Amino acid sequence: MLTLNFDPFPSLASQRFILRAPALYDDEAFVILRSDPLVNQYLNRAATTTVAAARQFIEMIQANIATNKSLYWVITTKESDVPIGTICYWNIEPELDQAEIGYELQSAFFGKGIMREILPVVIQFGFEQMHLQKITAFPFHKNERSVKLLELNHFIKDDPLREKLEKEEDLSGQLCYSLSKPV
């Protein structure tokens, strides 16, 4: 069973990007990210259209990090501290040693290889530092870029997990992928 402690916050880096904790001063960037129709088209959520709503979301994320319920990074370039996206582990199930990964980028940064560079860093952290045994992902079936990204990182369709989860929730339009820790 996982024993999680995200204090101090585990900042990460890739060749071009920094993954850091979300801060309240990120509120305007979160409005841009979470209100973009191109970003939201494959996510089942209402758009965040006000700074107050963005701050409330950031405070919720900070509380979840503080209580080890999720781990949520803001993606910035090494040249600028302004968020261009996020990546997270959430729906963490300590008793199963698994977590769901999720990610999003501002649409202006689509197709630039950003997630291709960042996802392996976060996967490695999940397996080596969090001691996850399995990472799940639930991309929308029409989100071809996300599906391709997962498959490039060795995620495979997980029909048994999908069947199990469909009994509990509506997965309409979503695919179920998973990646097990290498032996």
Give the model's confidence band at 167: pLDDT under 50 very low, under 70 low, under 90 confident, else very high: confident
Pairing of strands 134-137, 98-105: parallel
Pairing of strands 17-20, 12-13: antiparallel
Q: What is the percent of the chain where pLDDT is above 90? A: 87
Cα–Cα dist 54/56, whole Å: 5
Cα–Cα dist 80/18, whole Å: 9
* Mean predicted lDDT score pLDDT of the chain: 95
pLDDT reading at 170 higher than 80: no
Among left, alpha and beta (phi > 0; psi -120 to 50; other), residue 48 is beta
Q: DSSP state, 69? A: S
Q: What is the pLDDT of residues 56-91, one digit of tens each?
A: 999 999 999 999 999 999 999 999 999 999 999 999
pLDDT reading at 110 higher than 80: yes
pTM: 0.95
Q: What is the pLDDT of residues 88-108, one digit of tens each?
A: 999 999 999 999 999 999 999
Q: What is the pLDDT of residues 20-43, one digit of tens each?
A: 999 999 999 999 999 999 999 988
